[in-house]
Amino acid sequence: MLLSISNYKIAVDKTFLYLAGIAFLFLLGITIVMIVFALKYSKKRHPKAVQIKDNIIVEIIWIIFPILLVVSMFYYGHKMFNQKRKDTKDIKQVKATSNSQDNSFNNCDGNKSINLNFLIMNNSKIV
């Protein structure tokens, strides 16, 4: 299980794992198909090349599968975007002041700190 202090980070991690899983499956699938085709259509078994006719099932899969893949990636990104948009409605603003040697952060509750420690469990935005 992915642990974090931010729900948004967990959503980003899940999306990354989803995309990495898709990339791994493509790598595995393409490698397997390449090996199978190299063995099946080797010059030893088929010395004379044969033209393959149209295959409507392969054409439909060739079009539909990438569309579904892109739509699923868009869905996860949009879901994450909406979560972040929803979370920003009730955030606390933190004013950050900085120069070359000193940092200070002022919370809307009046807390002042040189570190961002008070932001850990709150929805906050640095302005």
Q: What would the pLDDT profile of 54-103 be if each residue is shown by its tens digit?
A: 889 989 998 999 999 999 989 988 888 887 777 666 667 777 777 777 77
Q: Determine the pLDDT at residue 30.
A: 95
* Dist. CA 108–CA 121, nearest whole Å: 15
Overall residue count recorded for the chain in this entry: 127
Q: Determine the pLDDT at residue 2.
A: 58
DSSP letters, 62-109, are HHHHHHHHHHHHHHHHHHHHHHHHHHGGGPEEEEEEE-SS-EEEEETT
**Strand 124-126 to strand 103-107: parallel, antiparallel, or no bridges (unpaired)?**
unpaired
Q: What would the pLDDT profile of 16-65 be if each residue is shown by its tens digit?
A: 898 899 999 999 999 999 999 999 888 888 788 888 788 899 899 989 99
Q: Determine the pLDDT at residue 16.
A: 87
- Domains defined along the chain, listed by start: 7-89 (1.10.287), 91-126 (no CATH)
Predicted TM-score (pTM) of the model is 0.59
* Dist. CA 41–CA 50, nearest whole Å: 10
Q: Mean pLDDT, to the nearest integer, of 103-115? A: 70
